[in-house]
Amino acid sequence: MKNIFFMKIIVPMAGRGSRLRPHSLTVPKPLIPIAGTPIVHRLVADIAKILDEPIEEIAFILGDPAFFGDDVVNSLTKLAESLGAKASIYRQDQPLGTGHAIMCAEPSLSGPAVIAYADTLIRASFNLDQNADAVIWTKEVEHPEAYGVVKLDANNKITELVEKPETFVSNQAVIGIYYFKDVAVLKGELQHVLDNNIINGGEYQINDGIKGMMAKGKTFVTGTVDEWMDCGNKEVAIDTNTRMLNFLTSDGDQIVSNSVTNENSTIIEPCFIGENVVLKNSTVGPNVSIGNNTVLENVTIKDSLIQTNSVIKNAILEEAMIGNHVKYNGEFTKISIGDYTVVE
């Protein structure tokens, strides 16, 4: 008989996402839609599916309320409630590292929990090893020297975390998702890190808390995901959008809305097309996501992301990422471009 645990998910997401500017100037990176769904919404829902346990609480660690405002809080609260969980909102006022971010959610750090950094997406089907004290989620990679990796013993237990190894350690890269049988143990180690001002790279790191647990004999194993998709900058966000569209299409999901107005236009799948989108004399796809209420006229577009309420005319676009409330006419004579915009 399966034991039922009431799980928590802890989501540090206080960063501003500077590598994804200008898109992250007005929308926090974890809330930027990929294939029609905000990154953090899709990540948390996929983790809940893998856990296959009741989720009691989802704790979100946000940054400055001026940037992570009421609309963000309301969106995350609805996300938690949709999974039958309570939302807890915490703030990390200063960017002092991953370990510090987790400790900002100190009242929620008890019992079984998954900690997941909100800038990646995954596909996975493994079962959590509930006998282990902790599970570090990993992905097999071709170039482990570019990542933080785990070192394994003969029994496939993790003995060490190695950052960007110069000689081969393993091909299992750490992806920023962790399960703890009792996250209070990690809390105790991170408190030690803070109390003793143990800093790496100018910040308090989760890895130093994990190393403290390992030193006390806690058992760490890997959970290997099938797919790991980054959303850190424009190029990888577009690639992740393409991969996610293909997964959703393979799953049989309907990702083209019935409310699309199609006037003499062609849609080449896979594409996500949101509500009340208007397509006029355009070719869309493959690998394109278009947000609600956007209008395309005389446009050919592939391998791209367009968010909501935008109007795009007379353009040939490839590997484009366009935000909300954008007006773009490829036959422009007047132009107004904001900070960090790139036109190539």
- Identify whether residues 180 and 31 lie together within a single domain: yes
Tell me, yes or no, whether 342 lies in a domain: yes
Whether 188 is in a domain gets the answer yes
Last residue in a domain, options 203, 234, 265: 234
Helix, strand, coil abundance in the chain, percent, nearest 5: 25, 35, 45
Q: Examine residue 148 and state whether it is found in any structural domain, yes or no.
A: yes
Burial 26-63 (b: 16+ CB within 10 A, else e): ebbbbbbbbbbbbbbbbbbebbbebbebebbbbbbbbb
Last residue of some domain: 190, 205, 234?
Answer: 234
Domain C-terminal end among 174, 202, 234: 234
Q: Is 48 left (phi over 0), alpha (psi -120 to 50) or beta?
A: alpha
Is 92 within a domain?
yes
What pairing do the DSSP bridges indicate for beta strands 304-306 and 321-322? parallel
CA 238 to chain centre: 14
- Tell me: do 215 and 182 sit in the same domain: yes
The letter for the amino acid at 23 is H
The sign one gets for the Cα dihedral 334, 338, 340, 341 is negative
Whether residues 118 and 196 fall in one domain: yes
153 is a domain residue: yes
Q: Please report how the helices 183-195 and 206-215 are oriented relative to each other, as an axis angle in degrees rounded to 10.
A: 110
Same domain? For 58 and 162 the reply is: yes
CATH code of the domain covering residue 328: 2.160.10.10
Asked if 228 and 261 sit in the same domain, the reply is no
Tell whether 212 and 168 lie within a shared domain.
yes
Q: What is the pLDDT of residue 21?
A: 63
The candidate with the shortest Cα–Cα distance to 11, out of 136, 113, 161, 138, is 113
Q: How many CB atoms lie within 10 A of CB 16?
A: 16
267 with 307, same domain: the answer is yes
The range of the structural domain enclosing residue 84 comes to 7-234
Residues 184 and 299 in one domain: no
Please determine, for residue 43, whether its predicted confidence score (pLDDT) is greater than 90: yes
Q: Is the pLDDT of residue 2 over 60?
A: no
In this predicted structure, the answer to whether residue 19 has a pLDDT above a threshold of 60 is no
What is the signed CA dihedral for 7, 12, 13, 17, rounded to 10 degrees?
A: -130
- Report the predicted TM-score, pTM, of the whole model to 2 decimal places: 0.90
**328 or 131: whose pLDDT is higher?**
328
Number of domains in the chain: 2
Give yes or no for residue 120 having a pLDDT over 70. Answer: yes
* Closest listed residue to residue 76, CA positions, set 97, 90, 94: 90
**Mean per-residue pLDDT of the chain:** 90
Q: Of 233, 203, 213, 210, which Cα lies nearest the Cα of 92?
A: 203
Alpha-carbon gap, residue 188 to 218, rounded angstroms:
13
Confidence of residue 1 (pLDDT cuts 50, 70, 90): very low
Whether the predicted pLDDT of 333 surpasses 50: yes
Residue 241 in domain: no
CA 244, CA 227: separation in Å to the nearest integer? 10
Asked if residue 247 is part of any domain, the answer here is no
The pLDDT tens digits of the residues spanning 268-310 come to: 999 999 999 999 999 999 999 999 999 999 999 999 999 999 9
The pLDDT tens digits for 20-31 are 565 545 566 788
Task: Write down the pLDDT at residue 41.
Answer: 93
Q: Is residue 158 part of a domain?
A: yes
Show Cβ contacts of residue 116 under 8 Å, excluding neighbours closer than 6 positions. Answer: 9, 10, 11, 43, 44, 47, 176, 177, 178
CB-side neighbour CA atoms (13 Å) of 81: 6
Read off the CATH number of the domain in which 168 is found.
Answer: 3.90.550.10
- Does residue 264 share a domain with residue 186? no
Say whether pLDDT at 132 is over 50: yes
Same domain? For 317 and 201 the reply is no
Q: Are residues 67 and 31 in the same domain?
A: yes
Residue 194 and residue 259 share a domain: no
Tokens of 249: 């299409």
